[in-house]
């Protein structure tokens, strides 16, 4: 299957509900957003996860040195 | 109704007794109430990101509410901004979008025309740009943001800083396929540019002509935030290299000695004080030395120059030195900003935004007369339309700068002399003061419009 067909299939599955906005968001823009949002959203998750781990480790180290 | 506000049915702008009001449609009432009650309005106003307003007693019975926003003293357009102005406006839009998401709302449009420069900072002027955010909903204004902000910024950076003028031609934003075809390969190879411009334009072309079927919303909130942060990172990293333009070293290269320059500053300062302007337009402002001087005696100064790098330098200077009453714009006086858009009424021409109390036209007239063959009569006739007072410098033909303009062409400017200059301007202006700049072949006049 050509990559563009995969993209098309993905788009048919995920295309969002009609919005009542006055601006035409553009179908292509919607699909692209969903694709990059999927990737970047993952990165945001990883970033959040790392921040939590860092805070956790910092807490442990601070407690350790206090003792 | 003001023509520029016809697109969004959430409300309309109208003018009453010279003041600007915004009526809010009944169909926007839910979003407006949520916008106020959620605290988003308060937060954005506190951070200086949104224009504040007062709800006023109903003057429009058809409307849900009528608000009176703070009056913006001078409206400018994105095709008049330099690179850093457009960049700051873009980052402001993204910042607002991020805050809005925190409050359960999002920007339903991201037009560069919704941003104005007020007190030295970019500010959103469209109070009705927000709607309730539904989890899963993609950003409806993503394409508009790319066309209004990202596209011109990339073209200015990678091709030519003058290309913001394309927004004048494409009032709805520069088409992505056009940007994609103009950007060099090295720009498109950056992952974020590749995605937001190249891939975006391809997706637009491919899916634009195909029938779509709605199913469900799927862009997670974290994905939306990731998208905004990605755009933010890309735009923050765009930096115009230090380029030297024709005008950026003008003050070092011209024939003013230190003393002559001092004298010129003193003369202009005294004349500005005498004119007591509230608003000043500095035409051919270059990097803005005289605009900065005028900003001490004038509530608002609009510096205009056709060189985007000179305007860039002026804007950065004003930011650094907190000259919040100075707006620098890219305007070519020989072809001033026209009125454009639907019925030629959506965006105002430069002249429509006047008149101003004072015009500074220093070291300008020889360029108009000799480089552009505009007669002294025509210059006087135009200037009388835009100002009450005029401080204008006449540079005689034997000045080295004028000689430079004439070096490769035949001197056909038989009427270009001080006597004709004075008689042309005397038709419309009263000459109140005339001062020779000692040590140069230049003379400065303070004139008052007769009409």
- pLDDT confidence of residue B177: 94
Residues in A touching B225 (Cβ below 8 Å)? 41, 44
Put simply, the answer to whether B226 touches A39 (Cβ < 8 Å) is yes
- pLDDT confidence of residue B256: 64
Chain A, nearest residue to B218 by Cα: A14
Chain B, nearest residue to A39 by Cα: B223
Strands B326-330 and B356-361, by their bridges, are: unpaired
- pLDDT confidence of residue B63: 87
Instruction: State the Cα–Cα distance between residues B131 and B100, nearest whole angstrom.
Output: 9
Put simply, the answer to whether B219 touches A45 (Cβ < 8 Å) is no
B158 touches B149 (CB < 8 A): no
Which of B83, B39, B11 is closest to B312 using CA atoms? Answer: B83
Which of B144, B48, B40, B134 is closest to B90 using CA atoms? Answer: B144
3-state helix, strand, coil in chain A (%, to 5): 80, 0, 20
- pLDDT confidence of residue A61: 80
B129 touches B122 (CB < 8 A): no
Instruction: State the Cα–Cα distance between residues B233 and B241, nearest whole angstrom.
Output: 18
CA distances from B102 to A9, B225, B239 (A): 32, 10, 29
ipTM, 2 decimals?
A: 0.72
- pLDDT confidence of residue B329: 98
Question: Tens digits of per-residue pLDDT, B400-413?
Answer: 788 888 777 777 77
Return the half-sphere exposure (C-beta side, CA atoms, 13 A cut-off) of residue A36.
26
Residue B173 Cα to chain centre, angstroms: 15
A39: pLDDT strictly greater than 90 = no
What value does the mean pLDDT of chain A take?
A: 69
CB atoms < 10 A from the CB of A63, how many? 9
B26 touches B63 (CB < 8 A): yes
- Reading the block at residue B118, the tokens are 């007020």
- pLDDT confidence of residue A9: 45
CB atoms < 10 A from the CB of B366, how many? 22
Sequence-ordered strand ranges (E) for B219-355: 279-283, 300-305, 326-330
Strand partners, B360: B282, B391
- The answer to pTM > 0.95 is no
Shortest Cα–Cα distance, B165 to chain A (Å): 23
Put simply, the answer to whether B214 touches A17 (Cβ < 8 Å) is yes
Give chain B's residues under pLDDT 70: 1-5, 58-60, 211-217, 242-256
Chain B, nearest residue to A38 by Cα: B223
């Amino acid at each position: 299957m050509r990559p563009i067909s995969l993209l098309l299939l993905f788009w048919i599955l995920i295309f969002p509900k009609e919005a009542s906005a006055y601006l035409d968001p553009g179908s292509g823009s919607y699909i692209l957003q969903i694709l990059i949002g999927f990737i970047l959203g993952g990165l945001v998750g990883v970033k959040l996860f790392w921040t939590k781990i860092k805070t956790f480790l910092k807490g442990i180290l601070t407690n350790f040195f206090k003792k | 109704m003001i023509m520029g506000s016809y697109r969004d049915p959430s409300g309309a702008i109208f003018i009453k007794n010279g003041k600007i009001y915004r009526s809010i449609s009944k169909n926007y009432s839910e979003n407006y109430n949520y916008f106020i009650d959620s605290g988003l309005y308060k937060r954005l106003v506190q951070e200086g990101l949104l224009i504040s307003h007062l709800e006023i007693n109903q003057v429009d019975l058809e409307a849900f509410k009528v608000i009176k926003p703070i009056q913006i003293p001078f409206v400018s357009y994105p095709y008049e901004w330099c690179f850093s102005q457009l960049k700051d406006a873009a980052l402001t839009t993204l910042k607002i979008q991020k805050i809005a998401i925190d409050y359960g709302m999002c920007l339903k449009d991201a037009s560069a025309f919704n941003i104005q420069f007020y007190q030295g900072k970019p500010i959103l002027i469209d109070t009705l740009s927000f709607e309730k955010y539904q989890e899963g909903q993609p950003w409806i204004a993503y394409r508009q943001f790319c066309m209004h902000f990202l596209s011109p910024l990339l073209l200015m950076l990678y091709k030519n800083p003058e290309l913001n003028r394309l927004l004048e031609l494409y009032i709805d934003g520069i088409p992505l396929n056009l940007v994609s075809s103009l950007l060099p390969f090295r720009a498109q190879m950056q992952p974020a540019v590749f995605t937001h411009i190249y891939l975006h334009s391809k997706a637009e072309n491919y899916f634009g002509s195909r029938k779509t079927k709605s199913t469900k919303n799927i862009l997670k909130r974290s994905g939306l935030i990731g998208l905004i942060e990605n755009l933010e990172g890309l735009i923050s990293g765009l930096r115009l290299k230090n380029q030297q333009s024709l005008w950026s070293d003008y003050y070092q290269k011209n024939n003013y000695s230190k003393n002559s320059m001092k004298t010129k500053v003193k003369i202009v300062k005294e004349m500005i004080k005498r004119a007591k302007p509230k608003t000043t337009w500095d035409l051919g402002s270059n990097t803005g030395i005289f605009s900065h001087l005028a900003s001490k005696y004038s509530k608002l100064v609009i510096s205009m120059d056709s060189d985007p790098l000179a305007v860039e330098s002026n804007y950065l200077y004003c930011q650094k030195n907190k000259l919040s009453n100075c707006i620098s714009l890219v305007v070519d006086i020989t072809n001033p900003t026209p009125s454009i858009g639907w019925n030629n009424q959506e965006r105002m021409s430069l002249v429509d935004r006047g008149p101003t109390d004072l015009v500074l036209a220093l070291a300008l007239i020889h360029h108009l007369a000799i480089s552009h063959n505009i007669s002294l009569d025509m210059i006087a006739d135009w200037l009388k339309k835009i100002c009450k007072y005029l401080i204008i410098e006449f540079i005689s033909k034997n000045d080295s700068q004028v000689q430079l303009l004439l070096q490769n062409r035949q001197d056909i400017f038989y009427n270009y002399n001080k006597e004709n200059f004075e008689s042309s301007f005397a038709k419309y202006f009263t000459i109140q003061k005339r001062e020779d700049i000692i040590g140069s072949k230049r003379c400065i006049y303070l004139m008052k419009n007769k009409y």
